[in-house]
Structures are given as C-alpha cells and as structure tokens.
Structure 1
Amino acid sequence: MIMVIVLALAAAIGGGATTALAEQNRTEQNRTVEESDPAAGRQLLFYNHAYGVLDRETADAVEHSPYLRTFANFQVRTTTGAGGQTWTGRYLMGRETYFELFGVGDLPGQDGVLGASGMGVSTERTGDLATVTERLRARGITPIEFQQTRDFGDGVPVPWFDAIFTIDQYDHFGGWGMEYEPTYFDDPRSNTEPASFPGDISRERYLNDVYRDRLMRDVTAVHLAVTARDLANTVPLLKAGGFAVRTSADGDVVARRGGTDLHFDAVPIERIGLQKVEFALNKAVSRHDERIGNSTLAVGPGPRAVWTFDARQ
C-alpha cells in the first residue's frame, strides 16, 4: 500500500483531522530512553510489511534474480487498490511478514523517489485497530481513517483492510496501522487460510505457506534512514500499538516487540533510504553472498540472512 495514494484518497473522501506531531528534545544526552507506554497493555500492532524505493539498476536486478526465487516466496505483482490506483511491487513473503521493493519512478510523486519508504503495522484480532485509535486520541492525535480495497480483476473492489495514519503531510516515509477486513478472508480469490481462533485476521492467516519450500521464513529486522519529521510522526503510532520504543540522544529510534525489530536513523533528506533487512531462515545453511545490483544478500552461516543495500552516493 502506498502512502501518497491512500492519503490523497482519504482527503478526497473527507478523512479525519490531522494533528501536527513533534518529539521533545532529549535532555539526557549520553543514554537511550525507554519510551514504551506502560499504560498501553498488550501489544496490538505488529510489523506486517515495509517497502523501499531502490535505484533502477538494483530494482531490475531484484526483479530478474534467479536466486531470489529459491531464497523466498518471491513475486512480481501488480495490485489495483482503492480508486483504481495500481502499483507493481517485487515481494519477498514469509510466514507472517514480507517486504516489498520498488524502483525509482515506479510510484507516483514523492513516493517514487530514490530512498522513499513506508511501513504497515497490523493487528492480529478483529477490533484491535479501534483500540489503537483510541490510544492515539488519548495522546491528542486524531487519526486519519481510510479503507483500502482490492480488485481481483473483475472491476469490483473488495474491502481489503482498514488503515489509520497520524498525518497527511510527510517527506518520503510514512507508517500506517492496518486491520484486515474479515470478509476479505471469505473471498476464495484471496488465497488465505482458515481462522485459527475467533476474530483471527492475523498475518499468518493472510500469507500462504509457500515459504515452507524456500529458505526465507520471516523478516526479523528492518533498518531505514528517514527524516526526523517522518520519524516523529511514526513514533506515536508505534507506542500506541504497544512497541517498546527507545530513542537515542541523536534522535535514532529502535522499536521492539512482536518478532521484528524496527531501526530508524534520523538523517537529512538527501541521505534517506533502505539500509538493511534481516531474515530468519527455515534451516541453517553455510555462507553464501549474492550480489544483486547495488546490494548484497548474505545468507548464513546458520538460520539467518542479512540483505544490505549500498549507501547512496
């Protein structure tokens, strides 16, 4: 899901009011500070997927890489969402989590520039997004609400998931909370799994089991460089979702809980971009380095892999 598309559509249909967000300057310069909300209770939002925009050479190398088709449940897929907007992504999908990659110009406007990125964090049970929304309102933030749809090719939009955003103005990174529509799972074209418990709208149910025949099991960490403004607008959503958030003296953020660590470096706009993705594997393997465009996927040793993207020149 692309931020500029859904926010434009949300505004067009009268999305909720916005609140300008800013993080307070840190008074303790030599240590990190825990920022998880002790009143938040159980975790409600979990890493679902993220995306990054790569240089064209690397994006094309990803799309045509034979190795990635053995490493992961890899797809190149075009999706039609709300308002007839379409996007074509390169997907690496695991058991519960996935990652999406684009090339420069694949997305419209500010979402299509080199280094742009985004991230969705989702609920596992029906109704939890409403609780996250109330937590944000308690912080003085009025979320923008939006429903994404999906067209399976017959021209009929099917409700896909509900989403909330903390802002409608951002630089080149946006984060959103999301909750799959129960009726989406009822459509056989969704290729999803049966419910495992009442109210099950989990990530594991949403993704199929092709990952079992590949190396990649799940995304365990994502490292992104984003502007300070974009990071400040994302932190309240992570806190409201129950992540344990730590902010360093220089403004960098690490959010943990739920199986995937989220690392954000606050940087000037000319240095934004996807830095690294870490994976858990289905089995231990010996070391293999695969060069893919301007990036290196280091697989093993052991049951892990790290995909590092070259720093922007």
Structure 2
Amino acid sequence: MPISRVVQMLAALVTILMVALAGAVGAQAGTARGLESRSQLMFFNHAYGVIDRVTADAVEHSAYLREFANFQVRTTTGTGGVTWTGRYLYGRETYFELFGVGDLPDTGYGSAGLAVSVERAGGLATVVERLRDQGVAEPVRFLQTRDFGDGVPVPWFDAVYVTDEIDAFLGWGMEYRPEYFADPRSNTEPPARPGDVGRERYLPDTYRDRLMRDVTGVRIAITGGDLADTVPLLRAGGFAVRPVPGGGVVAHRGGTTMRLDVVPRDEVGLRRIDMSLNRSLRTRHEERIGRSTLTVGPGPRAVWTFPDVE
C-alpha cells in the first residue's frame, strides 16, 4: 500500500477518535449542566461535628456563647430510644451541633454530618427521584422520631441518604413532618404558606436577641468514599457542586457554602464554621474555647475554627 494512502488512513482514524472524545466530554459536561439547572429543592439545614472532649466541655460551660447565640445543651431521644447530648447554636434558619467523644452513639472523634432540607411538603420525594436518575437505585429512607419525655415518639422528620455504609461522615436530606409542627411542645411557628415545612418555621426567633444570625459556611474534612456518597445528594437538592484543588468539592446556592475536603481517614473532622451576625461590629473579638478559636467581627461575620488535635 502506498505510504500516502497509509498517512491518509491514519489521519482519518485520528479525526474519528477526536470527534468521539469531544462527544463524550460534551455529553459529560451537558449532564453536569443538566443536573445543576434543576430547581433548588434543598437548603443547608445544619451540620455537626464530634470534637475533642476538652473543647466540648469548654463549649458547654462557655459564658460567652450564651451571649453570642441562642445556645443550648440538650439530650434528645430519637428513633428506637437512641439518645444523644449536643451543644446547639441556633440561627434564623440554620444551626449546628457539637458533640464530645461519647455524646453521639456509634461515632468517634472526627465524625461529622451535614443535613440539607426541603422547604415545601413533598419535596423530598422529588429528591429521591433525582437520586435514582443519578444511578442511586435504592436510596436509604429513614423516619426520625422525637420523644419529649412521655415515652410517646412523635414523627420528627423523614430522611434520605445514599448509603448507610459510611466511613465517618453522613450527608442526608430531610423533610420535617406535620405531626412535629402540630405538637405544641415543638415550639415551632405556624406555616407562612401552604405546605410550609421550612427551616425558619422550625427554629425559634430567639436569635434576634443574640449576635449570631445564621450559618453561611461550613468546612469539613472527609474521606473520598464519603464524598462520593454525598455529591449525588447535593446535586439532587439543586446545589451547584464544583471540585476544589487537592480533592473535594464546594457546594453553594441558598446562602450557605459547604466545602468538603478529601483527607485520609485519620484526618477527618469539622474544620470551620462561618456565621453571619445580626449587626456589624467595629472591632474584632477572639474567644478561645478549649482548643478551638471563635473570631467575631469586624463587620457582620464570625468564624469558628477547629484544629485537628487528636
């Protein structure tokens, strides 16, 4: 065969491969754009972290935190009689929980979680459909109940997550139940609109008398396996998800930015919480709480950092 003919055939083959590759890349990008163009159904609800005992005890007994936020230390009884003791900082629509080692069953130091929730009744069913569209054949469904002390569990919220086989981090979607809102012991607000199961209705307005207004950002170090199980949920909820250098993702939309960094199993844990304030401060205040640091101001913001100390 003449050399010129061989060259022509090779050139044609290269062209075919380039077209095929471009089509594959385009399809993948189109899929990502399609997922992110969906309406946002879920918003950041709360996050938790299991921190070292020294810091957890310092948080529990901090006089400053009681001035800074709607702060509570509470033991809760959930589904199956499981109990946990947390330190809670509540905002207008968002909050976070801090546990010491031993306060949350079946977890150890560095364990963490992230909940995103729907604002309208029935939204979680659509999230489940979107998970299945991404290849999650059997999303895990769970009903969380709450016992207010009389031994009668009240339906609290429906939850969904990709898998119950986790390393140290659980991301889940949730929808508050009407039975919980109807119970006067929940101290929740009346609906602002038909089908309202939103975060603002769930949380009290006590934040108005404190500095902290809401959680605007969280940063958590997790394993690659836990990240892979969390990204489909974030996409199903309508968040924009972007990779970050070094491994991990940033998810945003809805007022709170969530950063999940990929690390080895022995380096996982809550790293940072960003908060907005009800008013702008002229000066900067730094509060050492155990081994963590809460920096408040200047301006209408605060940052709480938690180093890896174990």
* TM-score bracket relative to the smaller structure: 0.7 to 0.9
Q: Count residues with an aligned counterpart.
A: 282
The 8 Å contact of residues 36 and 239 in structure 2, kept in 1 or not, is answered as: no
Letter aligned with residue 228 of structure 2: A
How many angstroms does 1:39 deviate by? 6.3
Equivalent position of 2:148 in the other structure? 152
The 8 Å contact of residues 36 and 239 in structure 1, kept in 2 or not, is answered as: no
User: 1 or 2, which has the higher helix percentage?
Assistant: 2
Q: Which of 134, 137, 157 is the equivalent residue of 1:139?
A: 134
Segments of 4+ moved more than 3 angstroms: 34-40
Q: Which of 263, 267, 272 is the equivalent residue of 1:271?
A: 267
How does 1:176-187 map onto structure 2 within 5 Å? 176-187=172-183
Pair 295,161 (structure 1): closer, same or farther in 2 beyond 3 Å: same
Gaps of 5+ in 2: 1-24, 26-30
Q: Which protein has the larger Cα radius of gyration, Structure 1 or Structure 2?
A: 2
How many angstroms does 1:225 deviate by? 0.3
Pair 262,37 (structure 1): closer, same or farther in 2 beyond 3 Å: farther
Q: Report Cα offsets for 1:94-147 as digits up to 9, x if no partner.
A: 0000000001121223x2x11110111100000000000001111121211111
In the alignment, the residues of structure 2 paired with residue 37 and residue 193 of structure 1 have an alpha-carbon distance, to the nearest angstrom, of 36
In the alignment, the residues of structure 1 paired with residue 225 and residue 121 of structure 2 have an alpha-carbon distance, to the nearest angstrom, of 31
How many angstroms does 1:183 deviate by? 2.0
Equivalent position of 1:236 in the other structure? 232
TM-score by length of 1: 0.87
The 8 Å contact of residues 284 and 297 in structure 2, kept in 1 or not, is answered as: yes
Q: Which of 84, 106, 124 is the equivalent residue of 1:129?
A: 124
SS state of the match for residue 211, structure 1?
helix
In the alignment, the residues of structure 2 paired with residue 164 and residue 310 of structure 1 have an alpha-carbon distance, to the nearest angstrom, of 30
Q: CA RMSD in A?
A: 1.9
Gaps of 5+ in 1: 1-27, 29-33
In the alignment, the residues of structure 2 paired with residue 136 and residue 143 of structure 1 have an alpha-carbon distance, to the nearest angstrom, of 7
Which shows bigger deviation, 277-286 or 36-45? 36-45
How many angstroms does 1:38 deviate by? 3.8
TM-score by length of 2: 0.88
In the alignment, the residues of structure 2 paired with residue 183 and residue 203 of structure 1 have an alpha-carbon distance, to the nearest angstrom, of 15
How many angstroms does 1:35 deviate by? 4.6
Identical-residue share of aligned pairs (%): 66
Equivalent position of 2:160 in the other structure? 164
The 8 Å contact of residues 52 and 109 in structure 2, kept in 1 or not, is answered as: yes
In the alignment, the residues of structure 2 paired with residue 198 and residue 97 of structure 1 have an alpha-carbon distance, to the nearest angstrom, of 21
How many angstroms does 1:67 deviate by? 0.2
